[in-house]
Structure 1
Amino acid sequence: MMTNVRTAAINADCILIVIDVCKVPEKVDNIMEGGTSNVKEKLPMLLVLNKKDLIKPGEISKRIEWYEKFGGADHVLPVSAK
């Protein structure tokens, strides 16, 4: 699967990663697995935190702050895709 991701990323204009904000935060490097670091450095990355409606409002701001500081993405966007 990661071979397909790397191949697709070569022709991409940006990287979009959607994660479950209810789960324990982890760095984007861990989410994307190895072998994509050269792609990440060349492309803008948007990290979408899904299911923001399932956690407390104060907690979502803490998660956004954590991902902005440690996540490795250029932008962090909380959403609720119902």
Structure 2
Amino acid sequence: MGGSVSGADAPAPSGRRRASHHGIRDNEYALISTAGMLWRVHRTTSSHALAWDELRTYGPLLRFDPHPLPRGDHPGHGVWCGATDVHG
């Protein structure tokens, strides 16, 4: 995977000011090379399982979820969780 850029050196992504309002710190941002592989982190069996390429629009459930309150289905506010490495 390509190198990452620290939050202090990274260009400000759109919505960064809004994200900081929700407690996301500058050092929690990283740019990831598009040449690498991302692993999808999601449930594969449940009554709420999504396709591998489908965004979860129900939330917020976790700290970084982009969904507005109250918790519920919010079309247009989806999240896709992934990782650059898998640890056993």
Normalising by structure 2, we get a TM-score of 0.25
**The structure with more strand, counted as a fraction of residues:** 1
Higher normalized contact order (CA 8 Å, seq sep 6+, divided by chain length): 1
The structure carrying a bigger helix percent of its residues is: 1
Structure showing greater Rg = 2
Using the size of structure 1 for normalisation, the TM-score is 0.26
